[in-house]
Amino acid sequence: MTRSILFVCLGNICRSPTAEAIFRLQANGLGLEIDSAGTSGWHDGHPSDPRASAEAARRGIDMSYIRSRKVVAEDFERFDLIVAMDAQNLRDLRAMQPEGSKARLVKLLDYAPELGLSDVPDPYYEDNFPEVLDMIDLACARLLLTL
């Protein structure tokens, strides 16, 4: 059974903290452990990108409590499911995963094939925060239905 989920992107300041905040609301009351992290560690300890938090806040979603952190080896034992935002995140996670650890690795948009995309585009560069939030919202809702 999936009881704990970690969302992962590169910086843990745009896509994965957005997924964490949205999924907490969608899964409210189900008792799941939910967190997010980045493969890079470039923004360790930083709050989310203000463009991501502003777009979330416009929709009543609070991201202010989230601080960026890097994925650590223990995450692969702590979490049942690790959800990557794109194919590069998934490759990086596979390279970090300790042999025999329990976490199952998946890509978020595999849960929303109707979007016709395999990766959540990186809004840090593309500045398309509303569109990215919509994608994450839909795919997280679909992911929840599979649990």
Annotated catalytic residues are: 9, 15, 122
Let me know how many helices (H) and strands (E) the chain has, helices first. 6, 4
CA 37/CA 76 separation, integer angstroms: 12
C-beta of 64 vs 145, nearer to ligand 4NP? 64
The answer to whether 107 contacts ligand 4NP (rule: CB under 6 A) is no
Out of 80, 110, 119, 122, name the contact with ligand 4NP by CB under 6 A. 122
Nearest CA among 5, 12, 14 for reference residue 121 = 14
To ligand 4NP, the closest distance from the beta carbon of 136 in angstroms equals 10
The answer to whether 21 contacts ligand 4NP (rule: CB under 6 A) is no
Contact 51, 15 (CB under 8 A): no
Burial of 29 (0-12, 13-18, 19+ CB in 10 A): exposed
CA 116/CA 24 separation, integer angstroms: 25
Specify the DSSP class assigned to residue 70.
B
C-beta of 136 vs 143, nearer to ligand 4NP? 136
CA 91/CA 145 separation, integer angstroms: 25
Out of 6, 9, 37, 63, name the contact with ligand 4NP by CB under 6 A. 9
Segment interacting with ligand 4NP, rule: CB under 6 A, options 5-13, 23-31, 92-100, 102-110: 5-13
Q: Which residue of the chain is nearest ligand 4NP when measured via CB?
A: 11
C-beta of 9 vs 90, nearer to ligand 4NP? 9
* Site residues (vs ligand 4NP, CB under 6 A): 9-15, 42, 122, 124
